[in-house]
Chains A and B, each alone.
Chain A
Amino acid sequence: MKHRLSTVVATAAAGALLAGCGGGGPSSGGGKVSDDKIVLGVLTDLSGVYADIAGPNSVQAVQMAVDDFKKKYGDKAVTQNIEVIKADHQNKPEIANTQAREMYDRKQADALFDVPTSSAALAVQTVAGQAKKLYFNTGAATTELAGKTCNPYTYEWAYDTYMLAHGTGAAVTAQGGKNWYTIYPDYAFGQDMQKKFETAIAGAGGKIVAKDPTPFPSDNYSTFLLKAPRLKPKPDVLGALQAGGDLANVVKQYQQFKLKDKGIELAIGLLFDSDIKAIGAAKLAGTMFTTAWFWNVDAKAQAWADRFKERTGQRPTFVQAADYSAATHYLEAAQKAGSDKAADVSKELDGTKFSDFFAHNATVRAEDHRVVHDAYLAKVKDPAKASETGDYTEPVKTIPAAEAFDKPSPDCHLS
């Protein structure tokens, strides 16, 4: 056994790589599921990089929607048995695929929610199409879900890369950041963000001087930060399209390399409260970003966020708010239809217009199942002006629903 230990270590290292990929599924609850039952499945990242943006609190948000629905209808509810189940997809498409299958087929889930990480969401969308059951995406941002890969079973409830890029890209370019250097994580979300930013920046009269894909995940962005000031022409803006922990790495290192002093401003593609907390609100104060919603955008939002905080101890992210909104609309549609069949529920949902605490001036577009609603151009609040530690967002302007999202894609044919 003593010989070739290096080979053993190499194998073990490879094993560790794989260990991250396999297994870890929840034990199957089993049991027979009666027909008189609605099962809502939350497929999310329970422990990885997106666990705070979505994760356990997304499960709570859907459960909260179910509890509120039950309270509202009492014994008049379409069924008394509404169950919420959850699974961890670890942000990996192949695990998302198996878990979604398991939830739809064996655990009788009628609809899935959440699903951060675009590549995982695309996998779930395919499974939803095969199972002919509904999927409400709130966690993933790729526009493909309502574009090339769209299907009648998938709804897009919260945001997408078009919304993020057009808000921020256009606003920052209009303020004078004409030349951009963009770095994007090399997977579905990043590649999509890159394309959308390019269009938005060009549309506002700016241009991309250079762009680089970065490894995902990565803890060292120095290569790109060193390259930025040497580019010709020198960029005015560094567009960081990373998310979560990667974004914290980029910003920390952006500050060490003093790029701001060298005349290169930072623009961020996707920014959540947890990122602001991780990086420090003082360091980010004034940084512009686009968001689908934030917890104190208005009184209605805040009232819901207060209830959410009572339940979870934390302020909700827009993904979690969208989960509640989507789950509520799903249940209401099932109530009206008196059925939990995908086709019946869709018929109720398609084309409806609504405004709730999350989505203002919203329309469930029948053409591509994209829910369009108002979005917000915002900036990070100066901590001195914050009302509480979680108060990070200062609205700059409301982007009306019609402008916030792209027109239905010609690649999408639902029927």
Chain B
Amino acid sequence: MTSFLQQAFNGLVSGSFYALLALGLAVIFGMLRVVNFAHGALYMLGAFGAVALADTTGLGFWWALLLVPLALAVTGTLLERLLIRRLTALDPLYNFLLTFGVALVCQDLLRMKYGAHSQPYERGPFTGSMDLGLFDFPRYQVFVLAVSVALCLAVWLLLTRTRIGTIVRAATERPELTRAFGIDTGRWVTPVFGFGVGLAALAGVLAAPMRAVNTGMGSDLIITVFAVVVIGGLGSVFGSVLAGFTIGMLQALGNLYVPVLSQTSVYLLMAVVLLVRPAGLFGKEEHA
């Protein structure tokens, strides 16, 4: 039983990364109707940002956690202003292709500088482990889970309890109607995109002390995250976060009990969800 709980907890930790990335994807999709294929690359850039910051300025993890997401959020707003915005009026496939291309460009540029092998990052805080009652767990990984849960809660409060949140939710659900009330929804598009990108970058910085930092780290992860978002319901913030943590647990337990299914389980679940509820577990059907 302890083993089961320990593994479930471990699943929540890896689910933290899915949740942070899925959350960013969900708010971006909700506001812009853009599925951001570059999200994995931005996660990777976050991790490389931490490495580069340590290499060039000697600044450690906490600075990276603050500065890298900010810097990438700004880069994200530029990306939205300069490129994505021009394509939003067209078929969504154009933005798929654009963001996919951006992801490839980022990967290859970094590969030119760093090569394909992993980069060292030795600035992670909390090296010890902590007693959680039933079992020990690496302190750093508990910290990752705490940060992820806190951020997801904060975003949820922001969306449900503040005026900005109300506007964003209204703009997400009924863009035309919201505009008809005289609210300039366009103003919020860029900050929301930047925020989503910042979350991906933050997940990347969090990954640097515990995962291999290399140019492929995002592209491997993002495919699972897309499955997570589809399962949770596109644009549904609550659904994406919940699906993120659930899939993390499913994989960890799958690794232990049914190793053959651990990698395919996500896609099986995605297929089933699409058959039964095409809009995802918490998504709303959209009509043409």
Please give the residue numbers on chain A whose beta carbons come within 8 Å of chain B beta carbons, in ascending order.
Answer: 1-10, 12-13, 16-17, 20, 45, 47-53, 55, 186, 212-215, 217, 219-220, 222-224, 226-227, 230, 244-246, 248-249, 252-253, 256-258, 274-275, 277-280, 283
Contacts and interface: CB of A to CB of B under 8 A. Distances in A.
B252 A223 contact: yes
Interface stretch (B60-68, B149-157, B205-213): B205-213
B81 interface: no
A220 B255 CA distance: 10
Contact of B212 (A230, A278, A283): A278
Interface in B104-161: 108, 111, 115-120, 122, 127-129, 138, 140-141
A6 B210 contact: no
A249 to B, nearest CB: 5
Nearest to B251: A220
Given A16-B226, A223-B7, A279 B120 contact: yes
A47 B255 contact: no
Please tell me the size bucket of the interface on B. Answer: 35 or more
B212 A248 contact: yes
Contacts of B6: 226
A295 B221 CA distance: 35
5 contacts: A1-B288, A49-B117, A52-B116, A217-B220, A249-B212
B10 A226 contact: yes
Q: Is the interface of A mostly helix, strand, loop or mixed?
A: helix
B262 A222 contact: no
Given A51-B116, A223-B10, A258-B129, A6 B278 contact: yes
Nearest to B234: A6
B279 interface: yes
Contact of A256 (B111, B138, B233, B262): B138
B283 A219 contact: no
Given A215-B262, A224-B255, A280 B230 contact: no
A226 B7 contact: yes
B287 interface: yes
A248 B118 CA distance: 7
A268 to B, nearest CB: 14
A223 B229 CA distance: 24
Contacts of B217: 219, 245
Interface in B254-288: 255-256, 259, 262-263, 270, 274, 278-280, 283, 285-288
